[in-house]
């Protein structure tokens, strides 16, 4: 069954027709031809499709497009402002925090969402009591929902750590 919806993506509104079975990921990739979120499993197992939904990270393959409503969808590409790369974009390139680059926009969105969670004081499975400090162990834990088969993990950690330090959530 087809439904008319309007998706707000990276600051622009897109009226479109979707099947009620269409995931947010497929609406972005197959209907809007937005290449930023990637499909790596379609089952919420790899994290390559991670986008921000009103600022919170979600696996867009697990969200039905018709349920998004007025929420703002932000892809990695949308994290750039006026075509200036986001601090995470620059840090990922500088630290070579990827190889093939396919999981990378999802990693970047996940990192952005994770930094917001840390700023809000959300603990992880490895957090101590008290204020959140994004140590390497914290970053590894909090970024483990995003698989990287090239295994750039050892570079993703310092790439995120540099931005976390600038944002004051890493001491």
Partner 1 sequence: MTTIDRLVGAGIDRIDGPAKVRGTAPYAFEHDPGEPIAHLAVVQSTVNNGRVTGIDASAAEAMSGVLVVLTPENAPRLVGELSSDLPVLQSHDVHYSGQIVAAVVAETSEIAKAAAAVVDVEYDAQPPDVVLTADRDDLYAPEQVMAGFATDSVIGDVGSALAAAAVTVDATYETPTEHNNPIEMHTSMARWDGDSLTLWDANQGPHTIVRDLATGFGLEPAQVRVISPYVGGAFGSKAFAHPNQILAAMAARVVRRTVVFELTRRQMFSLVGHRTPTIQRLRLGADADGRLTALSHEVVEHTSTISEFAEQTATCTRVLYAGANRRTTHRLGRLDVPPPTIMRAPGETPGMFALESAMDELAVALGIDPVELRIRNEPSQDPERNVPWSSRHLVECLRTGAERFGWAGRDLRPRMRTEGRWLIGTGVAAATYPTRRRKAECRISVDGRGHHVVEIDGSDIGTGAWTTLSQIAADALGVGMDAVELRIGDSRLPFAGGAGGSTGLASWGSAIVLTARELRRRIDDEYGGQVPADGVVVDGGVDGASPHAETHSMHAFGAHFVEVRVDQDTGEVRVPRATSVYDAGTIVNAKTARSQFLGGFSMGVSMALHEETLVDPRLGHYVNHDLAGYHIATNADIGELDISWLDEPDELANELGLKGIGEIGITGAAAAVANAYWHATGLRIRDLPITPDKYFRELGLA
Give the footprint of partner 1 on this chain (CB under 8 A). Answer: 19, 21-22, 26, 29-30, 33, 35-43, 45-46, 48, 75-77, 79-80, 85, 88-89, 92-94, 96, 98-105, 108, 139-141, 143-144, 146-157
Cβ 97 to partner 1 shortest distance, Å? 8
Cβ 19 to partner 1 shortest distance, Å? 4
Instruction: Give 73's strand partners.
Output: 9, 53
Cβ 74 to partner 1 shortest distance, Å? 12
For 32, what's the count of Cα atoms within 13 Å in the CB-facing half-sphere?
Answer: 25
Give the contacts of 78 (CB within 8 A, at least 6 positions apart). Answer: 9, 10, 11, 36
Cβ 66 to partner 1 shortest distance, Å? 12
Q: Which position has the token pair 């990921």?
A: 25
Task: Between 80 and 165, name the residue whose CB sits nearer to partner 1.
Answer: 80
Yes or no: say if 143 and 114 are a contact pair by the CB < 8 Å rule. Answer: yes
Distance (Å, rounded) from C-alpha 38 to C-alpha 69?
A: 21
Task: Between 37 and 113, name the residue whose CB sits nearer to partner 1.
Answer: 37
């Amino acid at each position: 069954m087809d439904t008319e919806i309007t998706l707000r993506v990276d600051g622009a509104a897109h009226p479109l027709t979707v099947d009620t079975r269409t995931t947010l990921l497929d609406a972005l990739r197959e209907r809007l031809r937005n290449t930023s979120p990637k499909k790596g499993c379609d089952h919420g197992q790899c994290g390559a499709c991670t986008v921000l939904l009103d600022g919170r990270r979600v696996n867009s393959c697990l969200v039905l497009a018709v349920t998004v409503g007025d929420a703002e969808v932000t892809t990695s590409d949308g994290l750039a402002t006026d075509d200036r790369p986001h601090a995470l974009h620059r840090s990922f390139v500088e630290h070579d925090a990827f190889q093939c680059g396919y999981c990378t926009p999802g990693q970047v969105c996940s990192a952005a969402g994770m930094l917001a969670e840390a700023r809000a004081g959300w603990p992880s499975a490895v957090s101590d009591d008290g204020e959140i400090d994004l140590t390497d162990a914290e970053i590894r834990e909090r970024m483990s929902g995003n698989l990287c088969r090239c295994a750039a993990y050892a570079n993703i950690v310092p790439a995120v750590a540099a931005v976390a330090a600038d944002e004051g959530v890493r001491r």
